[in-house]
Amino acid sequence: MCAASALFKPVSVGPLTLRNRVFMSALTRNRSFPDAIPNRVNVEYYKQRAAGGAALIVTEGVLITPQGTEWPDAPGIWSKEQIAAWKPVIDAVHAEGASIYIQLWHLGRVSHPDLPWQKKAGVPVYAPSAIAAKGGQFRQLPGAPGYVTPTEIDDPVKLIALYKQAAINAKEAGFDGVELHGANGYLVHQFLDSTSNLRTDKWGGSVENRSRFGLEVLRELITVWGADRVAIKLSPAGGYNDLGMPLEETLATFKYFVAEANKLDLAYIALVRHSVVMDPAGRGTAHDVIASYGPLITAPTKRFGNAGYTPEEAEKAVSAGDVDGVFFGFLYVGNPDLAKRIQNGKDVNFNVDMNGLYNHESTPESARKGYSDYPPAEY
């Protein structure tokens, strides 16, 4: 694939000019220790991928408040120590010519009250409604228990305030922008989906009311960052973490939400396609996500695709104008230089150590395995 291909034409995203359209998606990797604080191994990992040609990197999901996540050693952005620890990561990415957004993440009902951070927080597992999700693999707890029934939040504005403070902290750290995690069955998605949101107040019921929470979070993020540095990731097809509505309701809900979000002139909206990998139980609603919602995203907001793209498919999608750029996730695990490999026609490494995601000790030496020890190609 030559440098003149559609994937390797620069693109403007808000005030940023990105050198190509090969982006790195959020990838939770369980390596921020101790106390959910990024460390030197995280710096190495992000620097490698920036040096490997990624134009825009979105961090792994970053917890906006202490939560009982099933992802051990996931990073946070609620403390001064975390803010300070993100700065070397950001500096390393910038030094390699890439930009970096932080993904703001609240788990909602798929947190667990028995995990250390949730206990330290001293608050229940909050969600739109008291409905437990199916599944759950809390490997840190005896017996790998499933999800629990959450506590219905009395006033969702309390949760919106957490996002705003996280955005303030992210700005202090020096990120280039913020991506709201509105996908994969987490809090924003839980408000959107009628199977997890049974509220009868202004935050539930109608499409407009179920969309209110996510839109209000976006508006608060904009007060901190400006619209051209705020983005959102959406997975309308659902599936992951036990979300999914009938097709007609899915289309109505997400068409409304995307159209309203587009009015905010965001930096970008990332649309996650249906993926069997992310929908192992078949609870999602398979449909053409890009064709269904992409046309609703108009300038200045950019339209990005995500989930399961091959380099060849990404090239075709950008060339056709279906998307303005593509996020790669899994391929960035084993290919720190993915963008350069694509640009130079090198083979892509599919031999990824997924067991290493969990099976490591919280030490820099152990954490490098399956994380920052993948070599680049020879050029």
Could you list the active site residues? 186
User: Smallest Cα–Cα separation from 185: which of 157, 223, 150?
Assistant: 150
| Strand spans (E) along the chain | 11-13, 16-18, 22-24, 56-63, 99-105, 126-127, 151-152, 177-182, 230-234, 268-272, 302-306, 325-328
Q: Does 34 sit behind a cis peptide bond, omega within 30 degrees of 0 on the bond before it?
A: yes
Our measurement of the distance from residue 242's CA atom to the centroid of its chain's CA atoms, rounded to an integer in Å, reads 17
User: Mapped to the 3 state alphabet, what secondary structure does 159-183 carry?
Assistant: HHHHHHHHHHHHHHHCCCEEEEEEC
* Cα 159 versus chain centre, distance: 18
Asked if 112 contacts 143 with a C-beta cutoff of 8 angstroms, the reply is: no
Could you give the 3-state DSSP secondary structure of residue 364? helix
Q: Residue 127: beta bridge partners?
A: 152
What letter does residue 309 receive in the DSSP assignment? -
Per-residue CA distances from 204 to 18, 192, 213, 296, 297 (Å): 38, 8, 9, 23, 25
Backbone angles phi, psi at 180, to 5 degrees: -75, 125
Nearest of 266, 69, 259, 70 to residue 179 by alpha carbon: 266
In this structure, what token pair is assigned to residue 81?
A: 């120590």
| 248 token code pair | 């007609």
Q: 168: closest CA among 211, 127, 223? A: 223
Q: Can you spell out the DSSP letters for 32-58? A: -TTTT---HHHHHHHHHHHHTT-SEEE
